[in-house]
Amino acid sequence: MRKTPIAEWLLAHVAGRDRSAAIMGDLEELAASRSRLWFWIEYLRTLISLGWRTGGSAFILAFVCVRFMYGTVIQWLMNHRAPTLMQAGLFGVYNLHVRIITWNISMVMAQVLCFATPFVVIRFGLRNRLTQLACALFVIGIPFYTLRPWVMDLSGLLSVLIIAAVLVATPWRKPLAILAGTCLSAIAVKVIYLFLLPSVFHHRHIPWMPSSWVDATSFAFAAIVCVYLHHWLLQRPVASDRTIA
CB of 219 to other proteins, least distance (A): 24
CB of 42 to other proteins, least distance (A): 5
Rank residues 23 and 179 by Cβ distance to other proteins and give the closer one.
23
Report d(CA 209, CA 186) in Å as an integer: 16
3-state secondary structure of 128: coil
Angle between the 211-233 and 170-191 helix axes, to the nearest 10 degrees? 150
Rank residues 44 and 101 by Cβ distance to other proteins and give the closer one.
44
CB of 12 to other proteins, least distance (A): 12
CB of 185 to other proteins, least distance (A): 23
- What is the separation of C-alpha 108 from the centre of its chain, rounded to a whole number of angstroms? 14
Interface positions with other proteins (CB under 8 A)? 1-4, 15, 18-19, 21-30, 32, 42, 45-50, 129, 235-240, 242-245
Sign of the four-CA dihedral 231, 233, 235, 239: positive
Asked if 100 and 110 touch (Cβ cutoff 8 Å), the reply is: no
Rank residues 18 and 79 by Cβ distance to other proteins and give the closer one.
18
CB of 179 to other proteins, least distance (A): 17
CB of 124 to other proteins, least distance (A): 10
Q: Give CA angle at 116 (114, 121), nearest 5°.
A: 105
Sign of the four-CA dihedral 194, 196, 199, 200: negative
Rank residues 15 and 77 by Cβ distance to other proteins and give the closer one.
15
CB of 233 to other proteins, least distance (A): 13
Rank residues 27 and 140 by Cβ distance to other proteins and give the closer one.
27
Rank residues 74 and 121 by Cβ distance to other proteins and give the closer one.
121
Question: Radius of gyration over alpha carbons of the chain, in Å?
Answer: 23
Report d(CA 138, CA 144) in Å as an integer: 10
Rank residues 97 and 245 by Cβ distance to other proteins and give the closer one.
245
Asked if 168 and 216 touch (Cβ cutoff 8 Å), the reply is: no
Report d(CA 150, CA 102) in Å as an integer: 12
Report d(CA 157, CA 86) in Å as an integer: 17
